[in-house]
Amino acid sequence: MIGKMDYMELDRLAQKIIKGQKLTDDDLRQLLSLTEEEDIQKLHYIAGKVRDHFFGNRVFLYSFVYFSTYCKNNCAFCYYNRCNDIQRYRLDMKEIHSICRALKNENIHMVDLTMGEDPYFHSEPQRFVEIVRTVKEETGLPIMISPGVMDDRTLSRLYESGADFLALYQETHDKELYAKLRVGQSFEERLHAREFAKKVGFFVEDGILTGVGNDIESTIKSLRGMQKNEPDMVRVMTFVPQEGTPLAQVDQESSLSELKIISILRLMFPDRLIPASLDLEGIDGMVHRLNAGANVVTSIIPSDSSLEGVVNYDRELEERDRDPKSVIERLKSIGMEPASQADFNKIIDNNSIRSSKAPVVML
Ligand code: SAM
Ligand code: MD0
Ligand code: SF4
């Protein structure tokens, strides 16, 4: 399809996507099969045009707060799964207060409060509700929660306490693969939590992994699965093998497949939020992901923080280099800049990203 197109034709294709043209499964198959560097660059080019139409050169920044690394689950891909014999931490209220003070000066649009499925919070969800309320009151910032699967009543209370986004990644919408990744966890309950959260008023993020045994057909299943639930934010992350886990010995794929899928996500979800995570390849990787069509930088962690990431590309490095200042400097060097808080709040206040009739246009 795009291999033979010149740049005028690519521009026309971008315009069609902007006006609502949808990709067929055959289109997805062809795009996922691209291997030539030049063709992949063309795919990134179209995705960049579509992103620029809806968001211009403005990028949203999310600060990542992994406040408890305890977990009762056993995900085969995850460093924090309950069987891994690692050092864990859980922040207390005093530490949460001190993080709130730091967050206020951080130049970020949203705080992402993430935890493992820590029994301390999951058996008494009120404890988590208190954290959300505190962070909201003290920072006044929009809040994303990434707590794993929580019941309907808790989700409602979290929303009422100030949480705006729920991030809950299915990892794959291919049930067979899911069973191998999220070992012992219900596929349907995870789906339900996102569906219910959306009904309550949350903005919802879904996501998939690549490089975990997903072939092209399985990836198409996942892309269509994500589409069905109309998420407000969609992500793909390359699986990074973690020491001490069942998948530790799997070879890590290059980021090429992730970059292709980011562009495809942009074509399938033209006006949605798509992140470039710093957790995988740091700030250099962020640039590639933005060039592929992403419009949010996630996993920002202040340089003096001892909080962990999820994949932690920088576990062995001395300098973390994923603080807001470094991110903004690099954005500027590639002709991009942080959006204003008002731009981000507009998404939340108008619920405009939800309504396909009124996409967010910020040019
Ligand atoms: N415990 C909660 C949950 O699982 O929903 C919150 C943590 S969740 C935000 C962690 C996410 O990071 C996973 O859903 C997965 O997509 C990603 N992740 C975890 N381990 C990873 C790995 N080794 N490589 C790539 N992504 C990984
Ligand atoms: C990231 N480490 O964006 C974060 C995390 C959770 N909502 C996000 C996976 O890479
Ligand atoms: Fe626990 Fe989340 Fe890791 Fe799964 S991905 S083991 S639920 S922290």
Q: Which atom of ligand 3 is nearest to the CA of 71?
A: 1
DSSP code of residue 258: H
Looking at the CA of 115, name the nearest ligand: 1
Ligand 2 centroid–CA 124 distance in Å is: 24
Mutate which of 145, 194, 238, 277 for ligand 2 pocket (most atoms within 8 A of beta carbon): 277
- Which residue, judged by its Cα, is nearest atom 14 of ligand 1? 169
For residue 96, the one-letter residue type is I
CB 32 within 8 A of CB 249: no
Structural domains of the chain, with CATH: 22-309+323-350 (3.20.20.70)
Does ligand 1 come within 6 angstroms of the Cβ of 310? yes
**pLDDT digits over 91-138, tens only?**
999 999 999 999 998 899 999 999 999 999 999 999 999 999 999 999
Distance 69 CA to ligand 3 centre (A): 9
Q: Is the CB of 167 under 6 A from ligand 2?
A: yes
- What is the residue-wise DSSP string for 325-357? HHHHHHHHHTT-EEPPHHHHHHHHHH-TTT-TT
DSSP state string for 203-255: EEEEEEEESSS--HHHHHHHHHHHHHT--SEEEEEE----TTSTTTTSPPPPT
- Residues facing 113 on adjacent strands: 65, 145
Q: Is 275 in the pocket of ligand 1 (CB under 6 A)?
A: no
Q: Which ligand is closest to the CA of 277, given by its number?
A: 2
- A 10 A CB-CB count for 284 gives 10
73 CA to centre of ligand 3 in angstroms: 6
Q: Which two tokens stand for residue 5?
A: 């197109």
Protein residue with its CA nearest to atom 8 in ligand 3: 116
Q: Which residue has the tokens 């995988």?
A: 280
The residues facing 61 across adjacent strands are: 297
121 lines ligand 1 (CB under 6 A): no
Residue type, 176: E
Q: To test ligand 1's pocket by mutation, which of 310, 311, 313 has the most ligand atoms within 8 angstroms of CB?
A: 310
Looking at residue 358, its amino acid is A
**Confidence (pLDDT) at 351:** 64
Nearest to 148 by CA among 197, 99, 100: 197
Name every residue whose Cβ is closer than 8 Å to that of residue 153 and which is 6 or more positions away in sequence: none
CA separation, residue 178 to residues 94, 141, 145, 158 (Å): 38, 34, 22, 27
Q: 33, exposed or middle or buried, with CB in 10 Å at 0-12, 13-18, 19+?
A: exposed
Mean pLDDT by 10 residues, the chain (363 residues): 91 98 98 96 98 98 97 98 97 95 92 98 98 97 98 98 98 98 98 98 98 97 97 98 96 96 98 97 97 98 87 79 94 98 90 45 41
Atom of ligand 1 nearest to the CA of 71: 1
The ligand minimizing its distance to the Cα of 80 is 3
Quick one: which atom of ligand 3 is closest to the CA of 74?
A: 6
Q: Which atom of ligand 2 lies closest to the CA of 277?
A: 10
Give the residue whose CA is nearest to atom 17 of ligand 1: 310
| pLDDT of amino acid 320 | 79
Name which residue sits closest to atom 5 of ligand 3, judged by CA.
78
> CB of 110 closer than 6 A to ligand 2?
no
Distances, alpha carbon 82 to alpha carbons 24, 25, 88, 154, 178, in Å: 40, 38, 10, 23, 18
Cα-to-chain-centroid distance, residue 255: 15
